[in-house]
Amino acid sequence: MRINWIKHVFFTVIIVLIGIAIYYLYGDQDERTEVLAATRREENIVSEFSIGISGYDTINPILSSSRDIQYISKLIYRSLLRVTPEFRIENDLVLEWSRLNNQAYLIRIQEGIHWHDGTLLTGHDVKFTIDGIKNLQVNSIYRENVQYISRVEVIDDYLIRIDLDREVPFFEYMLTFPILSREAYNEYTLESKEELPVGTGEYRIAEMNESVIVLERDTVADRVDTNRRV
CA nearest neighbour of 179 among 228, 132, 118: 132
Cβ contacts of 54 within 8 Å, gap of 6 or more: 211
**Cα 156 to the chain's mean position, in Å?**
24
The CA-atom distances, in angstroms, between 141 and each of 67, 94, 150, 168, 201 are 11, 22, 19, 18, 20
Segment 42-58 mean pLDDT: 61
Segment 11-15 mean pLDDT: 48
Read off the pLDDT band of 69 (50, 70, 90). confident
Sequence length of the chain is: 230
Q: Contact, 56 vs 66, CB < 8 A?
A: yes
CB atoms within 10 A of CB 156: 10
Question: Has residue 76 got a pLDDT over 60?
Answer: yes
* Cα gap 26→59, rounded to integer Å: 50
Specify the pTM. Answer: 0.75
Question: Has residue 215 got a pLDDT over 60?
Answer: yes
Angle at 26 between CA 20 and CA 28, to 5 degrees: 85
Read off the pLDDT band of 65 (50, 70, 90). confident
Segment 123-147 mean pLDDT: 95
Give the lowest-confidence range in 134-138, 174-178, 210-214: 210-214
Cβ contacts of 143 within 8 Å, gap of 6 or more: 133, 134, 136
CA nearest neighbour of 47 among 221, 219, 172, 217: 217
Which is more confident, 12 or 160?
160
Segment 121-134 mean pLDDT: 98
Compute the mean pLDDT over every residue in the chain, rounded to the nearest whole number: 81
Q: Contact, 133 vs 62, CB < 8 A?
A: yes
Which DSSP letter does residue 221 get? S
The two most distant CA atoms of the chain are separated, in Å, by: 96
Residue range 91-112, pLDDT digits in tens: 999 999 999 999 999 999 999 9
pLDDT given for residue 227 in this prediction: 42
Cβ contacts of 118 within 8 Å, gap of 6 or more: 220
CB atoms within 10 A of CB 127: 17
Segment 174-180 mean pLDDT: 97
pLDDT given for residue 219 in this prediction: 79
Per-residue burial over 168-180, b = 16 or more CB atoms within 10 Å of its CB, e = otherwise: beebbebbebbbb
pLDDT given for residue 209 in this prediction: 82
Question: Has residue 183 got a pLDDT over 80?
Answer: yes
Percent of the chain at pLDDT > 70 equals 71
pLDDT given for residue 5 in this prediction: 46
